[in-house]
A and B are shown apart, each in its own frame.
Chain A
Amino acid sequence: AQSVSQHNHHVILSEAASLELGCNYSYGGTVNLFWYVQYPGQHLQLLLKYFSGDPLVKGIKGFEAEFIKSKFSFNLRKPSVQWSDTAEYFCAVISYSSASKIIFGSGTRLSIRP
């Protein structure tokens, strides 16, 4: 079955540490990839997206992600996290071969120690 996996369920970091959150998907063919963030008490908002072109995409708030097609991965990175990055992060995929169906991973809760 088509799926999206986020292996880190809860990540705890200190401020200024570097961040990498993993995302792997099982779709074949052409995909569009997304990272969303949900701050406490707020609705989901888009961090960044990959449709085509440069596999290294830059998003808001200093986040970036790299699409590695051979590894079916789209990991999220940030060189130096801040306390305000405390949130839940979701990876999502839409496959062109499976109609317009956006599938989300189970999410990674990020806690930043001040």
Chain B
Amino acid sequence: DGGITQSPKYLFRKEGQNVTLSCEQNLNHDAMYWYRQDPGQGLRLIYYSQIVNDFQKGDIAEGYSVSREKKESFPLTVTSAQKNPTAFYLCASSGGAGQGRTEAFFGQGTRLTVV
């Protein structure tokens, strides 16, 4: 089946530790995104990538890092510098500028809890 796979579904992290969230897509989309969802704040953009080996900061990039070494993969690292990392993280992909700029397709999300 085509789609976006995020793993793990639930993740617990101790304070001071870095943790990496996985996102894989088999939709052949150029663009990929990471959003953070908090109650009452909607989806806030952390990082996005329009093409392999390129990515840009979104509105709340501080304390996060990403890589885009392969078209189908866009992992997000939540570093110890992120002050309030407990949240629900959503990965998405869409057709890029050369693919008709489709709507975003979402994974099922990863709920990260700092303990």
Q: What is A's interface to B at a CB cutoff of 8 Å?
A: 6, 9, 32, 34, 43-46, 49, 90, 92, 94, 96, 99-107
Q: Which residues of B contact A43 (CB under 8 A)?
A: 90, 106-109
- Which stretch in B11-19, B36-44, B67-75 binds the other chain? B36-44
Q: Is B103 within 8 A of A100, CB to CB?
A: no
- Which stretch in B20-28, B78-86, B94-102 binds the other chain? B94-102
Q: Is B101 within 8 A of A32, CB to CB?
A: yes
Give the bracket for the number of chain B residues in contact with chain A: 20 to 34
Q: Which residues of B contact A32 (CB under 8 A)?
A: 101, 103
Q: What is B's interface to A at a CB cutoff of 8 Å?
A: 30-31, 33, 35, 40-45, 48, 50, 56, 58, 90, 92, 94, 96-97, 101, 103-104, 106-109
Which 4 pairs, one residue from A and one from B, show the smallest C-beta to C-beta distance? A106-B42, A104-B43, A100-B31, A107-B42
Q: Which residue from chain B places its CB closest to the CB of A94 in the assembled complex?
A: B101
Q: How far is the CA of A43 from the CA of B43 in the complex (A)?
A: 13
Q: List 30 A-B contacts (CB under 8 A).
A: A32-B101, A34-B103, A34-B104, A43-B90, A43-B106, A43-B107, A43-B109, A44-B90, A46-B103, A90-B43, A92-B104, A94-B101, A96-B101, A99-B50, A99-B97, A100-B48, A100-B50, A100-B94, A101-B48, A101-B56, A101-B58, A102-B33, A102-B92, A103-B45, A104-B44, A104-B45, A106-B41, A107-B40, A107-B42, A107-B43
